């Protein structure tokens, strides 16, 4: 017992130092550049304690002196900030038509970004295209793969830990193959993390969009596919099985023929309200030139009565789905995204229908984020994970 107590007593100062360093680093991350005096005020630590902890994390290469604050009474104060080059994050978005990516430093500054049209037909070719895109981004950023602290791929689907594979991957043919994840890990190494693409978009909305000032919101994406990212109490919620937000499986009428086949593969709501469903509905109704959902919406905007009726029906379907979300989780805000969700006039049409259906009316806004939304969310998720890693690294000497 004496040995254990002595060991605990010896470890306690190390643990306290590590905690102080973690606290300081987190404050510098969120508030920097800051001075020693400001850090002492923010943390409640003494100035000598702050100086000692700063010296340690500065030697570790995580922070650096970034300048001096002048123009205030007293001597100029040295300012400390995160050293951006202490780590890098790679975010990738894998879609059916495009692959997008970006690299950001530890401060969150994007060093380079790129979007390429995919030529892959099979899943292994798509994996290789992702690896090639990553290599191009690394070259443009002027860094090596070893400098990446975290890699995050935004992908349709849900991770199944029992089978170690992705499921519910929608229109990304073959992406649920058991060979995909091992191939991605082989190319991207131990820093790889997979995030559902719509969940990643919700994270981007939380960091950069309408979700910045609210604690609970639902990001509803309607376009080529349909999905939702749900943020409650400031945290992204995945659910017990990881399917929270898979609203494409809401049990809407699935129709017949190709509608029914789509419903079996990708969910009833997807079969009823995705871009492909809008095109099918427009063709059945007799809308000329209905080769894409964008053209159907454009025809409605020009005054085509039949196309307008198709758009109104689409708005009703989306309003029903949103009403279901409101009735279950009652979020403060609904954000519409995706090609259809961000189509001109669609927000107003959904709100009009929602007022007739919903027991309460949260704010409903259209996302102002562009095509790189998923990449931005992947970078945000990667930065959070990178910081967890760095903070844990500080604590390791104390727990060794």
Q: HSE of 40 in the Cβ direction (CA atoms, 13 Å)?
A: 10
pLDDT of res. 2: 35
How are strands ordered across the β-sheet holding 148-155?
110-117, 98-105, 88-94, 148-155, 192-196
pLDDT of res. 254: 55
pLDDT of res. 395: 57
Q: Are 49 and 20 in contact (CB under 8 A)?
A: yes
Neighbours of 152 (CB within 10 A): 30
Torsion on CA atoms 98, 99, 103, 104, rounded to nearest 10: 50
In a structure prediction context, what are the per-residue pLDDT tens digits for the chain, which is 400 residues long? 333 344 444 457 777 888 888 888 888 888 778 888 888 888 888 888 888 888 888 887 788 887 776 655 556 678 888 888 988 999 999 998 999 999 999 989 999 999 999 999 899 999 999 999 999 999 999 999 999 999 999 999 999 888 889 999 988 889 999 999 999 999 999 999 999 999 999 999 999 999 998 999 999 999 999 999 999 999 999 999 899 999 999 987 655 555 566 666 678 899 899 999 999 999 999 999 999 999 999 999 999 999 999 999 999 999 999 999 999 999 999 999 999 999 999 999 999 999 999 999 999 999 999 888 999 999 999 998 888 877 766 655 544 4
Q: For the chain, where do the domains classified as CATH 3.30.420.40 start and end?
A: 86-201+374-389, 212-368
pLDDT of res. 7: 45
Q: Quick one: CATH architecture of 212-368?
A: 2-Layer Sandwich (3.30)
Give the integer Cα–Cα distance in Å for 334 and 315.
14
pLDDT of res. 243: 92
Give the integer Cα–Cα distance in Å for 123 and 174.
5
pLDDT of res. 5: 43
pLDDT of res. 261: 63
Name the CATH superfamily for 86-201+374-389: ATPase, nucleotide binding domain (3.30.420.40)
Q: Quick one: CATH architecture of 2-82?
A: Orthogonal Bundle (1.10)
pLDDT of res. 69: 65
pLDDT of res. 44: 86
Give the integer Cα–Cα distance in Å for 387 and 169.
29
Integer-rounded Cα radius of gyration of the chain: 25
């Amino acid at each position: 017992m004496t040995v254990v107590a002595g060991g605990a007593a010896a470890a306690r100062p190390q643990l306290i130092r590590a905690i102080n360093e973690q606290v300081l680093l987190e404050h510098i991350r969120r508030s920097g550049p800051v001075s020693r005096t400001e850090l002492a005020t923010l943390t409640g630590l003494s100035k000598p304690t702050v100086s000692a902890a700063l010296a340690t994390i500065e030697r570790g290469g995580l922070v650096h002196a970034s300048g001096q604050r002048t123009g205030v009474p007293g001597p100029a104060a040295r300012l400390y900030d995160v050293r951006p080059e202490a780590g890098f994050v790679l975010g990738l978005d894998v879609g059916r038509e495009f692959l997008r990516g970006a690299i950001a430093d530890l401060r969150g500054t994007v060093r380079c970004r790129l979007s390429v049209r995919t030529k892959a037909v099979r899943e292994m070719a798509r994996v290789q295209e992702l690896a090639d895109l990553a290599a191009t981004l690394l070259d443009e950023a002027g860094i090596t793969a070893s400098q990446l602290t975290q890699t995050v791929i935004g992908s349709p689907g849900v991770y199944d830990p029992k089978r170690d594979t992705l499921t519910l991957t929608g229109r990304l043919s073959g992406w649920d193959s058991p060979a995909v994840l091992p191939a991605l890990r082989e190319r991207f190494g131990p820093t790889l993390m997979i995030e559902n693409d719509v969940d990643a978009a919700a994270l981007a909305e939380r960091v950069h969009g309408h979700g910045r000032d609210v604690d609970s919101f639902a990001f509803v994406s309607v376009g080529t596919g349909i999905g939702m990212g749900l943020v409650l109490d400031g945290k992204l919620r995945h659910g017990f099985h990881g399917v929270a937000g898979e609203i494409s499986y809401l049990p809407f009428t699935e129709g017949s023929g190709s509608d029914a086949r789509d419903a079996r593969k990708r969910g009833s709501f997807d079969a009823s309200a995705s871009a492909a469903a809008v095109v099918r509905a427009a063709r059945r109704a007799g809308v000329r030139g209905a080769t894409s959902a964008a053209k159907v919406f454009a025809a409605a905007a020009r005054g085509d009565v039949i196309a307008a009726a198709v758009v109104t029906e689409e708005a009703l379907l989306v309003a029903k789905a949103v009403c279901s979300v409101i009735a279950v989780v009652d979020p403060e805000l609904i954000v519409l995204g995706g090609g259809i969700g961000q189509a001109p006039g669609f927000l107003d049409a959904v709100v009009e229908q929602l007022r007739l259906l919903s027991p309460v009316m949260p704010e409903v806004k259209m996302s102002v984020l562009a095509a790189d939304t998923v990449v931005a969310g992947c970078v945000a998720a990667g930065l959070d994970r990178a910081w967890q890693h760095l903070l844990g690294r500080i604590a390791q000497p104390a727990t060794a």
